[in-house]
Amino acid sequence: MSSSSYISSPMRTERKTTSTTASYLQNIILTITTLLSFTLIIAGGLCFSGNTTTCPPTLHFLANNATSSHRHHQMPASNHSITTPPPPPTEKYNTHAGIPMFIIGIILSIPSIFVTCCVGKEPSDKDALRYLYGSHFMSAWGDRMWGMAVPLFLIDIFKSTLLPTGLYAAFVYILNVFLLPSLGVWVDKTSRIYVQRVGLLIENSCVALTGVTVCCMVIYIPNLGLKEQFLFSGDKQIMFSYIILLLLGGLGELFNGVQTISIEKDWVVVMSKESNLDVGILNTTLRRIDLSCKALAPLAFTAIYQFIGTDVRTRIFYGALMISFWNIISFPVELILNTRVYESFPRLKMKVHTHDDGTTHAHENGHIEHKHFLHKHEDGTIHYHDGPILHSHEEHGDVIDLNDPKQTRVINSFSVDNGNDNNANQRKTGCCDNFFKVYLKHPIFYASLSYTLLWMTVLDNGALMTSYLQWRGVPPVYFGFGRGLGAVFGLCGTAVFLAIKSVFKSVERSGLIAIWLFWMILFPGVVSFYIAGESRITDFVLMGSMAASRIGLWSYDLVITQLTQDNVKEMERGAFSSIQRASYQLFYVFIQVLGMIFHDPRQFIVLVTYSTCVVLFAALLYTYWYVFRSYLVIKKSDTTVQNNDELGYEQLIGEEKNDES
């Protein structure tokens, strides 16, 4: 019987570093970024201490524009004039910018901690992980800072209405619901580094352009931030600018999701297999970075926003300018760090793919449309590799049986439509529908669904809960402190996940404990409504239960992340994760709509009760999956999924098929 094997260019197990020129350029950019951060720290400190030569100049046109407009366009009292514009400032320099400059410098210097020890030498696994952590920090910090900036900008521009903020959030999430699954399929079929480059470029460009748009609104719209603006008042400048903000925000959030899915659901799995690291530890480290940014980035931005100027227009302008500055600076740094991670792990260059004969394997550029040639040699060896067909191997001899289609034929990749592969045609014509079916029929579907349901709740620190606490008269510093405390408990949750996993030796069982822990800590919040009613006791019990429950929530988040990584095939990770992400964003939109229906703050008990019931249902759903369905995952984990993930990495072979009669 003849042997059949896949022959490819030898896999390079050694690390392949960048070219000397590219490495020098990368080091120069990283060095410039580090020097810029220390310059901002020193200049900000001097400015704060009273040395005005290091302070940025005062932009008099901000106040002049507002004052001139107020002088020539006096509005009657019925038009809701909010603030009398201040006279033009007489200071030559903005001495209030010292603290913001110092904070930005400190934040910008943090990535250098991750990479300076690795510059100038061939990176080890530990060094490559430092690159990953540095890139993830910059991405997470920018995302959290922008998430805090948008509602502040909109409420300062439109004053006494939350409608523009609500519409913005609804548009962004609905856009993700409809478009993210298609982008997830694109992630599965595209080179990993290309996905990151495109995602970083589009997201950072959109956020930077959003900041520029807000700056232009301050410059060209008189009295912006000084009097109430109306979205549907017929002001074309306001409406046009708001539409631009919607489009840029939606597009930026889309590709932020693409990057997150690619790194957290795919790169981490491949890296853990190649470096023999526990994927749970990698997930935990990334989540701790994210939670730290979630706690500190909003605090840092609000401090910058508070101290950057003495009037609203100046704060809006400099705040938006700072957001643009951060994204412009962080883009090359994130790109360099991700590129170095990519080059440090050869497996990241390989993509698992399927050919039209059913063969599944992995090699470099596997995502690109290509062909292999199946043929037989004189000694009876049957194998396939890149062409040409007419060739000879010293150990096998010449190719024979050229006219026998069983012995000599071209094998196309799945993207080639040869008219005979119905599965390939289906993938091309209805890929998204096909992957929705894959998601619904996947063995971990019920576990994933229980996770997505947790977004359909007001028991978080979102806009509905914040608005209710403000209506109750809770000082903002209290629920701001509660948000930070929740992030601290979330960090504790990452440690709880590792502890539970080490004790029970099962990710599935760890999820059962985490989801019920989450519900039990939340439950006193709704009980206090029925016992104490709307009272200060209820307010603090509600905030306390929300903060403490993050222990269970983020433990459960890590469980679902690892279940997805361990049980979803590499060729389906992007599609599966994007559909999961779109699902929980759809549930988030639903709870916002429910908040519009029960808009009276005195009806908030309805939303709290509903949310508690949703979390209870999610816990019951996961319990059902664990008892009746998790055996499917456990049964497959040692065979199918492992083979699919390892296929093509260790031996670069596909399904062997004996074509002899």
Each residue of 18-42: pLDDT tens digit? 456 666 676 777 778 778 888 888 8
The residue assigned the tokens 């060095």 is 31
Question: Phi/psi of residue 227, each to 5°?
Answer: -140, 160
| Full-model pTM | 0.76
Distances (CA, A) of 145 to 4, 64, 69, 86, 171: 55, 29, 32, 29, 20
Q: Per-residue pLDDT averaged across 454-471, rounded?
A: 82
Same domain assignment for residues 190 and 339: yes
Half-sphere exposure in the Cβ direction for 466 (13 Å, CA):
12
The confidence score (pLDDT) of residue 408 equals: 67
Same domain assignment for residues 227 and 271: yes
The confidence score (pLDDT) of residue 417 equals: 38
Using a pLDDT cut of 70, give the percent of the chain over it: 69
Task: Work out the mean pLDDT of the chain and round it to a whole number.
Answer: 76
Nearest C-alpha neighbor of 136 from the set 298, 289, 292: 289
Structural tokens at position 39: 């310059």
Most confidently modeled range among 59-73, 277-291, 426-440, 627-641: 277-291
Range of the domain at 32: 18-72+92-370
| First-to-final CA distance of the chain | 11
Nearest C-alpha neighbor of 252 from the set 336, 339, 146, 108: 146
Indicate if the pLDDT at residue 649 is higher than 60: no
The confidence score (pLDDT) of residue 197 equals: 93
Same domain assignment for residues 580 and 629: yes
Calpha distance 241→153 (Å, rounded): 13
Q: Per-residue pLDDT averaged across 196-207, rounded?
A: 94
Each residue of 499-523: pLDDT tens digit? 998 898 888 899 999 999 999 999 9
The confidence score (pLDDT) of residue 123 equals: 61
What is the sign, positive or negative, of the torsion defined by CA atoms of 514, 519, 524, 525?
A: positive
The answer to whether the beta carbons of residues 427 and 414 sit under 8 Å apart is yes
Nearest C-alpha neighbor of 66 from the set 44, 82, 55: 82
Pairing of strands 392-393, 371-377: unpaired
What is the sign, positive or negative, of the torsion defined by CA atoms of 522, 527, 530, 536?
A: negative
The answer to whether the beta carbons of residues 384 and 373 sit under 8 Å apart is yes
Nearest C-alpha neighbor of 388 from the set 363, 408, 365: 408
Each residue of 391-428: pLDDT tens digit? 666 666 667 766 666 666 666 655 433 334 444 444 44
Q: Per-residue pLDDT averaged across 192-201, rounded?
A: 92
Task: Print the SS3 string covering 15-54.
Answer: CCCCCHHHHHHHHHHHHHHHHHHHHHHHHHHHHHHCCHHH
Residue 448 lies in a domain: yes
Number of compact structural domains in the chain: 3
Calpha distance 163→166 (Å, rounded): 5
Lowest mean pLDDT among 74-78, 503-507, 551-555: 74-78
Distances (CA, A) of 166 to 163, 427, 658: 5, 37, 61
Distances (CA, A) of 77 to 18, 83, 492: 65, 11, 52
The answer to whether the beta carbons of residues 448 and 198 sit under 8 Å apart is no
Angle at 164 between CA 163 and CA 169, to 5 degrees: 100
Same domain assignment for residues 395 and 453: no
Most confidently modeled range among 253-257, 292-296, 615-619: 615-619
Residue 293 lies in a domain: yes
Q: What is the dihedral of CA 559, 565, 569, 571, to 10 degrees?
A: 130
Each residue of 239-284: pLDDT tens digit? 888 899 999 999 999 999 999 999 988 899 888 888 888 888 888 9
The confidence score (pLDDT) of residue 656 equals: 34
Res. 226 pLDDT band, cuts 50 70 90: low
Same domain assignment for residues 456 and 520: yes
Most confidently modeled range among 462-471, 527-536, 647-656: 527-536
Lowest mean pLDDT among 229-243, 277-291, 620-634: 229-243
Same domain assignment for residues 153 and 168: yes
Residue 197 lies in a domain: yes
Q: CATH code at 606?
A: 1.20.1250.20
Same domain assignment for residues 539 and 397: no
Calpha distance 182→354 (Å, rounded): 19
Distances (CA, A) of 12 to 95, 346, 653: 56, 7, 15
Lowest mean pLDDT among 294-303, 412-421, 630-639: 412-421
Helix (H) or strand (E) holding 117: none
Task: Print the SS3 string covering 216-271.
Answer: HHHHHCCCECCECCCCCCCCHHHHHHHHHHHHHHHHHHHHHHHHHHHHHHHHHHHH
Q: How crowded is residue 29: how many other Cβ atoms within 10 Å of its Cβ?
A: 15
Same domain assignment for residues 287 and 306: yes
The confidence score (pLDDT) of residue 167 equals: 83
Give the residue with greater pLDDT, 75 vs 241.
Answer: 241
Residue 424 lies in a domain: no
Q: Is 4 helix (H, G, I), strand (E, B) or coil?
A: strand
Indicate if the pLDDT at residue 8 is higher than 70: no
Residue 531 lies in a domain: yes
Same domain assignment for residues 189 and 218: yes
Same domain assignment for residues 270 and 389: no
Question: Phi/psi of residue 583, each to 5°?
Answer: -65, -45
Q: Per-residue pLDDT averaged across 191-203, rounded?
A: 92
Long-range contacts, 400-408 (Cβ 8 Å, 24+): 400/376, 401/375, 401/376, 402/375, 404/376, 406/659, 406/660, 406/661, 407/374, 407/375, 407/376, 407/382, 407/659, 408/373, 408/374, 408/375, 408/376
Give the residue with greater pLDDT, 654 vs 286.
Answer: 286
Calpha distance 409→184 (Å, rounded): 33
The confidence score (pLDDT) of residue 353 equals: 65
Same domain assignment for residues 401 and 473: no
Exposed/middle/buried for residue 264 (C-beta within 10 Å: 0-12, 13-18, 19+):
buried
Lowest mean pLDDT among 219-223, 489-493, 545-549: 219-223
Nearest C-alpha neighbor of 295 from the set 550, 75, 655: 550
Helix (H) or strand (E) holding 352: strand 350-354
Alpha helices in 93-162 (DSSP H): 98-115, 125-158
Residue 219 lies in a domain: yes
The rounded Cα 516 to chain-centroid distance in angstroms is: 26
Lowest mean pLDDT among 210-214, 361-365, 419-423: 419-423
Same domain assignment for residues 134 and 270: yes
Residues with Cβ within 8 Å of 360's Cβ and at least 6 positions away in sequence, in order, are 352, 353, 354, 644, 647, 648, 654, 655
Residue 216 lies in a domain: yes
Residue 512 lies in a domain: yes
Indicate if the pLDDT at residue 452 is higher than 60: yes
The confidence score (pLDDT) of residue 227 equals: 64
Calpha distance 308→310 (Å, rounded): 7
Each residue of 104-159: pLDDT tens digit? 888 777 766 666 555 555 666 677 888 888 889 989 998 888 888 888 888 788 77
